[in-house]
Amino acid sequence: MLGNGFISKFYFFGETVLLLLYVNFLWVCFTLAGAIIFGFGPSTVAMFTIFRRWSKGEEDIPAFKVFWQTYKKEFKRANGLGLLILLFTYMLYINFNFLQLDNEWMQQTIKNVLIFVSIVFGIMVIYIFPMYVHYDNKLYNYFKNAILITIYSPIRTIYLIAACLTLYYLYFTLPVFLFFFGGSLSSLVIMWITYRTFLRLEIKQERLQETEA
């Protein structure tokens, strides 16, 4: 029994590693196929769609079929989301690096505001793609709901940020992981945590509705 359990877990681990490698390869290829700018959004949505199904406990996921179908279906809408994220990121980058004021106090104040906005935006981005594949909503609502989830689930959000920082440390220390697993491993970890956060919030909402009824 012990041997069978170990073999089963080892087999599951091996399958997960292969899935991570393959999905990361698909993500890179389809992002490049869309000239990066137009491929990033739909490729990332397709990747998170696969790992949402993995987080739900589905086995034998047809990775290429799910990725390709999602990429085609969500191409326009996901590009809208991806371009908004890239545009806002570019604006923050420009302001950080090129904004110069004569007043030193004002310069520092604006810099602190930009740091705060960047942190909030970073948290929003972490939640947005998992929310996109889990809920059907308008693009504006994904940004708004990302903030609401952060407020309603601060402990889970801290847990999520800690996981992302751990991944960053892993990629910085061992860049080979970034090359082979950068997108897919980040997506899997983020989706696994956020999926359970969404389920908890849905259960709380159902209980609240039952209480009000």
Q: What is the pLDDT of residues 51-92, one digit of tens each?
A: 999 999 888 899 999 999 999 999 999 999 999 998 999 998
The pLDDT assigned to 74 comes to 95
* For residue 3, pLDDT beyond 60: no
Give mean pLDDT, residues 29-46: 94
Exposure of 51 in the CB half-sphere (CA atoms within 13 A): 33
The pLDDT assigned to 213 comes to 60
Rg (CA), the chain: 19
Range with the poorest average pLDDT among 60-64, 97-101, 180-184: 97-101
The pLDDT assigned to 1 comes to 44
Q: Determine contact, residues 162/188, Cβ cutoff 8 Å.
A: no
Give mean pLDDT, residues 98-127: 85
Taking only the tens place, the pLDDT of each residue in 163-179 is 999 999 999 999 999 99
> Locate tokens 């520092």: which residue?
108
The pLDDT-based confidence of 2 (bands split at 50, 70, 90) is very low
* For residue 42, pLDDT beyond 70: yes
Alpha carbon distance 119, 104 (integer Å): 23
